[in-house]
Amino acid sequence: NQSEEKLTEYLDELEFLAYTAGASVDKRFTQRLTKPDSKTFIGSGKAQEIRDYVKENEIGTVIFDDELSPSQLKNLEKEIEVKILDRTNLILDIFAQRAQTSYARTQVELAQYEYLLPRLTRMWTHLERQQGGIGMRGPGETEIETDRRIIRDRISLLKDKLKTIDRQMATQRNNRGKMVRVALVGYTNVGKSTLMNALSKSDVFAEDKLFATLDTTVRKVVIGNLPFLLTDTVGFIRKLPTQLVESFKSTLDEVREADLLIHVVDISHESFEDHINSVNQTLMEIEAHQKPMIMVFNKIDAFAYEKKSDDDLSPETRKNISLEEWMKTWMSKSKYPTVFISALKKENFPELKKMIYDEVLKIHISRFPYND
Ligand code: GDP
């Protein structure tokens, strides 16, 4: 069943995120509901089952693949009696661990406070109800009020700080002058940094974890006689917390202001078509979807083709489609120049470079219509 497969993939990704954050996953629980329970997200029977398991096996944390509402989080913590994380919180945590520059750290801190603020509020309404409206002027309220005020002050301070850095970065981008700007975009972990290194012979951090790159790196690259600027951007991911989309505005500005996008896809990943859609969705949100683009299907060396038997022709499963068939499908389907490479083994690099050269040259020419 196809949605069963999707579910497994989503949980694979969540497990990978958890691993990136430094956790190891012990067990998975799933439940089919027509819609999430408004109070506890999952049904009470399932919550019970998880609680028993957590107790028995001394599990420290339970992670949910969706963003939980403040009250769902609170109720679940009461019911399961263990620390609960949702997808947003997990991603924020990874970003916090990986932020290198003061800019990235400021962005993550802002996103974390914005995530926290409504959760503090709800905690208080919950308390209010418990106290039945009597004696509400106790220290509890003052404390939470103070916390909230401190957080709000901190949020506006961080926003000011970001505005200042944004302005500096905009100036920096302007100072880069007339050089054509190319941005690598793609789902997280598809090989953007590896490709950046291979093209610019630089040493950008590449690691088999999600979001190895949080800050943008810009390198000057020359292909043939054509120089251009190549930017590596933060990886996109399904259900990226809205707080982060907003706060990584300046990182995304690199994409928004690029002349050419190189959309890198990990063709060895089972869900690569979902990843393409996710990335296109984000590009649409930041209004960068009409830019010239090159589709780069990476990791052809890792592509596994598992035809179950000779007469097994069911085209539904990706495992039954060979790389050649994928290539044909995508070449004919894609309205963009398309190339299949291995960034790791530098396979098909001449083809890739020619493609980039041609596109960059087109942009050059369009800028200087009177030069011949
Ligand atoms: P990014 O998050 O998109 O920047 O991805 P990275 O460049 O950090 O790469 C993520 C992982 O994929 C690393 O372990 C890389 O070594 C690996 N990788 C990158 N390109 C290839 C490739 O062409 N083939 C294979 N097999 N692995 C690759």
Atom of ligand 1 at shortest distance to CA of 347?
A: 23
DSSP 130-179: HTTTSSTTSHHHHHHHHHHHHHHHHHHHHHHHHHHHHHHHHHHHHHTTT-
At 104 the pLDDT is 78
> Does residue 275's CB lie within 6 angstroms of at least one atom of ligand 1?
no
pLDDT band at 250 (very low <50, low <70, confident <90, very high): low
Q: How much is the pLDDT for 206?
A: 52
Alpha helices in 304-348 (DSSP H): 323-333
Does any domain span residue 81?
A: yes
Confirm whether 336 is domain-assigned: yes
pLDDT in tens, 269-284: 888 998 999 899 888 8
152 token code pair: 């709000």
With a 6 A CB cut-off, is 208 part of the ligand 1 pocket?
A: yes
Which of 162, 194, 217 terminates a domain? The answer is: 162
**Torsion angles phi and psi, residue 371, rounded to 5:** -80, 140
CATH code of 191's domain: 3.40.50.300
Q: Which has the higher per-residue pLDDT, 178 or 55?
A: 55
Residue 121, domain extent: 99-162
- Please indicate, yes or no, whether residues 73 and 201 belong to a single structural domain of this protein: no
For 22-81, the pLDDT digits (tens) are 889 999 999 988 899 999 999 999 999 999 999 999 999 999 998 899 889 989 999 999
What domain count does the chain have? 3
Mean pLDDT of the chain: 81
Placement of tokens 């909230």 in the chain = 148
pLDDT tens-digit map of 138-162: 445 667 778 888 899 999 999 999 8
Q: Is the CB of 337 under 6 A from ligand 1?
A: no
- Confidence class of residue 314 from pLDDT cuts 50, 70 and 90? very low
200: confidence class by pLDDT, cuts 50, 70, 90 = confident
Q: Which two tokens stand for residue 369?
A: 């219509």
Q: Are residues 284 and 302 in the same domain?
A: yes
pLDDT above 60: residue 312: no
Task: Name the burial class of residue 284, with classes exposed (0-12), middle (13-18) and buried (19+) by CB atoms within 10 angstroms of its CB.
Answer: exposed
pLDDT over 90 (residue 165): no
Q: Which of 94, 114, 148 finishes a domain?
A: 94
Index of the ligand 1 atom closest to the CA of residue 184: 3
Cα–Cα nearest to 73, from 63, 84, 65: 84
In a domain, residue 190? The reply is yes
Report CA(206)–ligand 1 centroid distance (Å).
Answer: 7
The last residue of one of the domains, among 94, 126, 141, is 94
Whether residue 356 is contained in a domain is answered as yes
